[in-house]
Structure 1
Amino acid sequence: MLSDTTVKIPGVPHIRQFPELARGCEVTSLAMLLNYAGVTVNKMELAETITKVPFQKNGLYGNPNEGFVGDIYTYDRPGYGVYHKPIAELFRQYLGERVLDLTGEEIAAIYDMVEAGKPVLVVTNSWFRKLHDCHFTYWETKQGKVKITYRDHCVVVTGYSPSHVYIHDPLYPVPYRKVMRKPFEEAWYQMGRQAISYVDNVEEKKVFV
């Protein structure tokens, strides 16, 4: 049930992706979740182990639904990012069936997790508002067409209020960045409602799904 007051999860570690990971917002955000869950792992280990696919091969682009596309470390080589499925698969290597992939759910599912004290990794864009169509294109991949934007970004939702959402942004210098709630929600919907969190035990999943 959504609170009409401000809710924040205290003590969530804030990790920055730079300077080591030019495109590492997803694994850096995952490191925040895992560290908060009590797992000792760093962003560089996650960057090394996440499934990867080439940026281009045989005239086709890599598919971010299959793995991290291209180079995660530097802008000197081509790269893009990764969507929820490979992130969730890597998450499960550490937390098993406790991982909760909320992709496709309504925005209330994110706020329910926050109220329960669990941060939520979301795929959004770096402007945290709905983008014009000109910022999107379609890639031909081995699995078919995939919609992408180079404004793609990943953050961790750590709180909310009636008017704002609080996030741990790997590109931002301090935790609990405050962004406008309605534009943030619209950006999240536009990026396919991708969200991942976790529960303390498998039985608890029944409360959220």
Structure 2
Amino acid sequence: MKRKYRKISFAHFLLFFILSSCSILYVKDGDYTKLNVSDLKEKLWNTVIFENTETVFANNTIKAALRETFVNERVIKDSVKLDVRIISQLPELPRGCEVTSLAMLLNHAGVNTDKMILAKEIKKDPTPYKKQNGQVYFGNPYDGFVGDMYNKNNPGLGVYHGPIRKLAIEYLPGQIIDLTGKDFNSLYSHLSAGKPVWIITNTQYRQLPASYFEKWETPSGTLSVTYKEHSVLVTGYDHDYIYFNDPLTGQKNRKAPKEAFIKAWEQMGRQAVTYTSFS
């Protein structure tokens, strides 16, 4: 006869998770069993968090928290330079830096896809470009790709982390980690583990002056944007530099001064997406 596991709320789980010093609580017939994170195997990512006789429930938020716990326990290497195949966005996708960087990330994870497939699949914001009395009305890259990815003679910009994350999940369900909003140190953890990181930055890899930005009115609100927006795949770091595959220049492991690169990334909203081998 199968044992039944009682469901508890995520709030209770999170409270116990914090108080138990990075441990996991299983609830079995009303009894709590504590398992140390260091004792868990990779199978944990697919392990039943709460179980009954018929169904399995695995909360993605909990799973993401568990992944972060493992990542944070890793030793951060002094320097990393990953071998990731470079893909150029040109000539087919003059505005396709985001999907090209995603193609590099997914290919590194063993996924058989390419930039042109991803360009078709990425969610689009169909809002047309309009400029009236000096004010631009256009789409929102947080909602989908804005404008024309294929022809720079037409209006366009790009796409941000949300739609990229959602598309990546279709290829690697349960393995995509959105690091957006976190400190850059969190990227070092994943790079040390051999995982490159997709990011949004600008083409100058330094903090831009305010004059490079303009306000757009979009269906989901006012947005500050720059036409210098760019996406690359971060492949490494050392004491002085950040290394990345640049889809615009076609350079593999291009480097930029670390402090300036991080400031550019922060200015563009600290957007970052990577993957884990766990699912």
TM-score class, shorter: over 0.9
Q: Distance in 2 between matches of 1:102 and 1:44?
A: 25
Q: Answer yes or no: is 1:105 the counterpart of 2:178.
A: no
The aligned amino acid for 1:7 is: V
**What is the alpha-carbon distance in structure 2 between the residues aligned to residue 49 and residue 117 of structure 1?**
27
* Partner Cα distance (1:57, 1:158) in 2: 35
Q: Which segment drifts farther, 53-62 or 36-45? A: 53-62
Question: Any residues of structure 2 matched to 1:24-39 within 5 Å, and which?
Answer: 24-39=96-111
Does the Cα contact within 8 Å between 1:51 and 1:67 map onto a contact in 2?
A: yes
Distance in 2 between residues matched to 1:143 and 1:120, nearest whole Å: 27
Read off the aligned partner of 1:21 and give its amino acid letter. Answer: L
Equivalent residue, structure 1, for 2:125: 53
Q: How many angstroms apart in 1 are the aligned matches of 2:201 and 2:229?
A: 6
Distance in 2 separating the partners of 1:173 and 1:29: 11
Task: Supply the AA of the counterpart residue of 1:125.
Answer: N
1:147 Cα shift?
1.5
- Asked if structure 1 preserves the Cα contact closer than 8 Å seen for 2:97 and 2:232, the reply is yes
Report deviation, 1:3.
3.1
Residues 129, 155 of structure 2: 8 Å contact kept: no
Structure number with greater CO (CA < 8 Å, separation at least 6) is 1
* Structure-2 residue corresponding to 1:160: 237
**Counterpart in the other structure of 2:87:** 15
Asked if 1:3 is matched to 2:77, the reply is yes
CA distance in 2, matches of 1:188, 1:69: 20
The one-letter amino acid paired with 1:94 is Y
- For the 8 Å contact 1:24–1:73, the answer to whether it is kept is yes
- Report SS of the residue matched to 1:184: helix
Q: How large is the RMSD of aligned CA atoms in angstroms?
A: 1.3
**Which structure would you say has the larger Rg?**
2
How much has 1:55 moved relative to structure 2?
4.9
Query: Hey, what does 1:196 align to over in structure 2?
Result: 273
Q: After superposition, give the CA deviation of every residue in 1:63-98 in whole Å (9 maximum; x if it has no partner).
A: 100000010011021111001000101101100120
Whole-Å separation in 1 of the counterparts to 2:256 and 2:124: 31
Partner of 1:97, secondary structure, is coil
Q: Is the 8 A contact 1:55 1:80 kept in 2?
A: no
Given candidates 59, 72, 81, the residue that maps to 2:149 is: 72
> Residue 149 in 1 paired to residue 226 in 2?
yes
Q: Distance in 2 between matches of 1:190 and 1:105?
A: 13
Alpha-carbon distance, 1:173 to partner: 3.0
- Distance in 2 (CA, whole Å) between partners of 1:30 and 1:181 is 22
> SS of 2:173's equivalent?
helix
Q: Identify the residue that residue 84 of structure 1 maps to in structure 2.
A: 161
Q: Quick one: structure 1 residues 83 and 30, their matched pair in 2 at CA, closer, same or farther if it must change by over 3 Å?
A: same
Unaligned regions of 5+ residues in structure 2, if any? 1-74, 132-136
Which residue in the other structure is 1:95 paired with?
A: 172
Matches within 5 A, 1:135-146: 135-146=212-223
Length-normalised TM-score, structure 2: 0.69
SS in 1 for 2:265: helix
Identity over aligned pairs, percent = 47
Whole-angstrom distance in 2 between the partners of 1:140 and 1:132: 21
Structure 1 distance, partners of 2:128, 2:147, is 8
Q: What residue identity is the alignment partner of 2:106? A: L
Q: Distance in 1 between matches of 2:177 and 2:123?
A: 19
Per-residue deviation, 1:124: 0.3
Q: What is the aligned residue count?
A: 200
- Whole-Å Cα distance in 2 between the matches of residues 47 and 55 of structure 1? 17
Q: Pick one of 199, 202, 206 that aligns with 1:129.
A: 206
